[in-house]
Amino acid sequence: MKETSPLNLYKQLPQTNCKKCGEETCMAYAAGLIARTRKVEECTPLIEEKKYAKKLETLKTIVAPELKMIYIGVGDKQVKVGGEDVMYRHQMTFFNKPPFAYDVADNMEEAKLIERVKQITTWRKFYIGKWQYVEMIAVRSVTDDPAKFAACVKTVLANGNGFPLILCSFNPAVLKAGLEVAAKEKPLIYAATKDNWKEVAQLAFDYKVPVTLSVPFDLDGLKSMAVTFAGMGLTDLVLDPGTAPNGKMLQQTLINFINLRRAAVEEAQRDIAYPVMVLPINAWLTSDDPVRASYWESVLTAAFVIRGGAIMIKHSLAPSSMMADMHLRFNIYTDPRTPVQVKPGIYKVGSPGPESPVFLTTNFALTYYTVESDIASNNIDAYIIAINTDGIGVQASVAGGQLSPTKIQDSFNEAGFDWAGQKYPAMVLPGMAAKFSGELEDLFAGKAKIMVGPEDSGRIIGWMKDFWPPK
């Protein structure tokens, strides 16, 4: 959506302020549409009443994302791909994080295949209050044998816990065999090429599945393919412009991605505005050393998470790479519009009482939630005081002066914390703020004991065993 003024959307609304959408006014709802926090479907009068039909159509066209959004898979594991509106995340936000599809192959022994599928589907990591998961599985046909591919897809479906699939082969017969088994699950097929596109187009139509167009390092050719498919009524498209893992072609790859994103969101070239696929898996063609290949895969992933990749086929299940890649994607796709601070003050974790410690941290949301999760997940009852550091973390605010002994004193005073009611009146400083302990001892003399906690709140559980209650 290029529109930035709610007024222009308001013109397409019923303008009755009927409140059915949950907003007080149509104008407020229009502002929600601009921010993409509200959906057109939520204005029920617009949808239901015939007289608004024209407005509805116009509105839908205006709010459509600049980069087409497509759906892969069904049910609650379905993924949205594309749908972006901006070039740089601070301009609004990036909306649909590129799903990571980890590969399996049809030449794998059944037991190994099942094991790998299980590894992919069960991987998880807790981060800022949420579990991070893998989203998809890519099934590669190494054998080029339709029967073997179909059998493999079947096994993956049976063990895949509803994860959406990418069926990968250039052989239409192989793709068809896979679709016979999996079409209901609405997989993405990979890929139509300059050689097989007619057959693959027919498959995409027959089975009603989204399709990848692969024309490596030739954007004219890629566009020609996209225009042709759209002409046939096939618009659930993913583009593969080629991912070179190294050398000068890697530079070209990044430039292609930048150009495609620009064409879509800055120049509204609708005939090429489809989600783009990245193949970080290609890192494995550059080295036999798995550590090296895995690191390089992460580097490629990072490049294209940042610059316009909409869906990725990956290989490395090494925890180092998976964790790094997941966090990078999380950080880049975090909505910069949401607040990053918690309210300063005293928080209770569990049901703290007179015998509980008071942990001190800053009001940077990430810091606060990390400390809270480390305390809560270990069933510790405690107080946390979040000091107002303008949302800056402990280490940085100690260095930058936003966290200081007097600030700590003021914060306890403001919160009106009742030290007298505590059996062991003591505050636990983050290890990174240890240098304040001397000054704090003077400031809190006779009131509270100053203890130095671990440098990382992940070690609070061990610290409690050694130091709490204080002697």
Residue list 356-415, contact with another protein (CB under 8 A): 364, 366, 373-374, 377-378, 392-393, 395-396, 399-402
Q: To the nearest whole angstrom, how small is the minimum distance from the Cβ of residue 52 to ligand SF4?
A: 9
Of 218 and 424, which has the nearer Cβ to another protein? 218
Q: Residue 220: helix, strand or coil by DSSP?
A: helix
Contacted by 17, from another protein, ligand SF4, none: CB < 5 to 8 Å by type: ligand SF4
Query: Per CB under 8 A, which region of 9-17, 118-126, 342-350, 411-419 contacts another protein?
Result: 118-126
Residues 428-447 contacting another protein, CB under 8 A: 435
Per DSSP (E only), the strands in 302-420 are: 311-314, 345-349, 358-362, 382-387
Contacted by 20, from ligand SF4, another protein, none: CB < 5 to 8 Å by type: ligand SF4
- The one-letter code for the residue type at 112 is K
Tell me: does residue 45 bind ligand SF4 (CB under 6 A): yes
Of 20 and 125, which has the nearer Cβ to ligand SF4? 20
Q: Residue 425: helix, strand or coil by DSSP?
A: coil
Residues ≥6 apart with Cβ < 8 Å to 224? none
Residues 206-265 contacting another protein, CB under 8 A: 208, 214, 216-217, 219-220, 222-228, 231-233, 235-236, 242-251, 254-255, 258-259, 262-263
One residue of 18, 232, 255, 285 binding ligand SF4 per CB under 6 A: 18
Among 282, 350, 317, 277, smallest CA distance to 79 is for 277
Residues 66-95 contacting ligand SF4, CB under 6 A: none
Contacted by 306, from another protein, ligand SF4, none: CB < 5 to 8 Å by type: another protein
Contacted by 197, from ligand SF4, another protein, none: CB < 5 to 8 Å by type: another protein
Residues 265-324 contacting ligand SF4, CB under 6 A: none
Q: To the nearest whole angstrom, how small is the minimum distance from the Cβ of residue 399 to another protein?
A: 5
Of 173 and 346, which has the nearer Cβ to another protein? 173
Residues 120-179 contacting another protein, CB under 8 A: 122-127, 140-142, 144, 168-170
Q: Which two tokens stand for residue 292?
A: 């090296």
Tell me: does residue 88 bind another protein (CB under 8 A): yes
Counting Cβ atoms within 10 Å, is residue 325 exposed (0-12), middle (13-18) or buried (19+)?
Answer: buried
One residue of 158, 268, 285, 445 binding another protein per CB under 8 A: 285
Q: To the nearest whole angstrom, how small is the minimum distance from the Cβ of residue 96 to ligand SF4?
A: 25
- Between CA 285 and CA 293 the distance in angstroms is 8
Q: How many CA atoms lie within 13 A of 279 on its CB side?
A: 23
Q: Classify residue 216 by its DSSP letter.
A: T
Query: Per CB under 6 A, which region of 40-48, 190-198, 296-304, 436-444 contacts ligand SF4?
Result: 40-48
Q: Which two tokens stand for residue 73?
A: 């898979």
Of 21 and 300, which has the nearer Cβ to ligand SF4? 21
| Continuous segment of H or E residues that includes residue 460 | helix 460-467
Of 13 and 464, which has the nearer Cβ to ligand SF4? 13
Counting Cβ atoms within 10 Å, is residue 321 exposed (0-12), middle (13-18) or buried (19+)?
Answer: buried
Contacted by 321, from another protein, ligand SF4, none: CB < 5 to 8 Å by type: another protein
One residue of 9, 46, 72, 244 binding ligand SF4 per CB under 6 A: 46
Residues 20-39 contacting ligand SF4, CB under 6 A: 20-21, 23, 26, 29
Cβ proximity of 100 and 136 under 8 Å = yes
Q: Which residue pairs, CB below 8 angstroms and at least 24 apart, start in 407-414?
A: 408/360, 408/436, 408/440, 408/443, 409/440, 409/443, 409/444, 411/344, 411/345, 411/385, 411/387, 412/385, 414/344, 414/345
Cβ proximity of 29 and 7 under 8 Å = no
Q: To the nearest whole angstrom, how small is the minimum distance from the Cβ of residue 348 to ligand SF4?
A: 39
- Between CA 286 and CA 246 the distance in angstroms is 8
Q: To the nearest whole angstrom, how small is the minimum distance from the Cβ of residue 100 to another protein?
A: 14
Tell me: does residue 456 bind another protein (CB under 8 A): yes
Of 46 and 313, which has the nearer Cβ to ligand SF4? 46
Residues 198-217 contacting another protein, CB under 8 A: 198, 201-202, 205, 208, 214, 216-217
Q: Residue 104: helix, strand or coil by DSSP?
A: strand
Count residues binding ligand SF4 (CB under 6 A). 14
- Continuous H helices in 232-306: 247-261, 290-306
Q: In b/e form, how buried is each residue of 56-71, taking b as 16+ CB within 10 angstroms?
A: beebeebbbbbbbbbb
Q: To the nearest whole angstrom, how small is the minimum distance from the Cβ of residue 469 to another protein?
A: 22
Per DSSP (E only), the strands in 106-145 are: 124-127, 130-133, 136-140
Positions touching ligand SF4 (CB under 6 A) are: 13-14, 16-21, 23, 26, 29, 43, 45-46
